[in-house]
């Protein structure tokens, strides 16, 4: 039981780490690359580097969560546990890939400031790099996040490892995230509306992380499968 309590604590801490690193890292990176000229200078390069490091921390935390949860989840449904682990690994790969864009912009900016490339070339390359990052972040990462989260919350609901209201909350929140991102493929969705749809899953993962640290998994369920 002590081992499971420690595992729950680590998982909870990783959920909080992933959420903070993702939101803060993404915010820092976007604040730099969303500038009209996409230029990375000595003044904003530090912010960009910190943002990229946080995004990599998020990727590591995502794999850590799935790896620590796998031995516990597989006791209740091995197929779903394997699926969850697989989806989160793929998600982490894409989370790592999105740092390629800011790295590219840093290199392009240095060449541009040295007059190594023209203004038109820099602008075109910057627009393409940002579009690629947006496609990965807003489509691929979120699709695999939603698939993994759906399996996790479904399995948590079935197993009762956590109170069922957390699982139901998570499942509803995942559907909202999936809806808003599918709609964004066809419609122009403002940042404010997107955040409203994303807020339930953000709050859910923060709440679940704190719950795991403080309460851990349901001891009666853990003991029954030990």
Integer Cα distance of 71 and 21 in angstroms: 25
The predicted model gives 92-96 an average pLDDT of 92
- Cβ neighbors of 203 (< 8 A, separation 6 or more) are none
Q: How large a percentage of the chain has pLDDT more than 70?
A: 86
pLDDT of residue 45: 80
**pTM for the structure as a whole:** 0.88
Range of 74-88, 106-120, 190-204 with top mean pLDDT: 74-88
Contacts of 206 (CB under 8 A, 6+ apart): 15, 16, 19
pLDDT tens digit string along 162-219?
999 999 999 999 999 998 888 877 777 777 888 899 999 999 999 999 999 999 998 8
């Amino acid at each position: 039981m002590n081992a499971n309590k420690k595992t729950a604590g680590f998982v909870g801490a990783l959920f909080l780490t992933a959420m903070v690193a993702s939101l803060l890292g993404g915010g820092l990176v976007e604040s730099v690359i969303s500038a009209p000229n996409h230029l990375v200078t000595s003044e904003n390069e530090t912010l960009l580097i910190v943002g990229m490091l946080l995004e990599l921390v998020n990727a590591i935390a995502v794999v850590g969560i799935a790896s620590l949860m796998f031995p516990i989840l597989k006791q209740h449904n091995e197929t779903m546990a394997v699926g969850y682990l697989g989806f989160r690994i793929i998600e982490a790969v894409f989370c790592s890939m999105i740092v390629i864009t800011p790295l590219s912009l840093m290199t392009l900016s240095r060449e541009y400031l040295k007059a190594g490339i023209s203004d038109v070339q820099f602008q075109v390359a910057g627009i393409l790099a940002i579009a690629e990052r947006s496609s990965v972040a807003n489509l691929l990462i979120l699709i695999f996040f939603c698939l993994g989260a759906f399996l996790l919350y479904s399995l948590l609901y079935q197993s009762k490892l956590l109170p069922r209201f957390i699982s139901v909350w998570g499942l509803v929140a995942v559907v909202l995230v999936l809806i808003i991102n599918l709609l964004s493929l066809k419609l122009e969705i403002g940042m404010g509306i997107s955040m409203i749809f994303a807020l339930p899953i953000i709050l859910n993962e923060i709440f679940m992380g704190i719950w795991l640290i403080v309460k851990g998994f349901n001891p009666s369920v853990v003991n029954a499968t030990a």
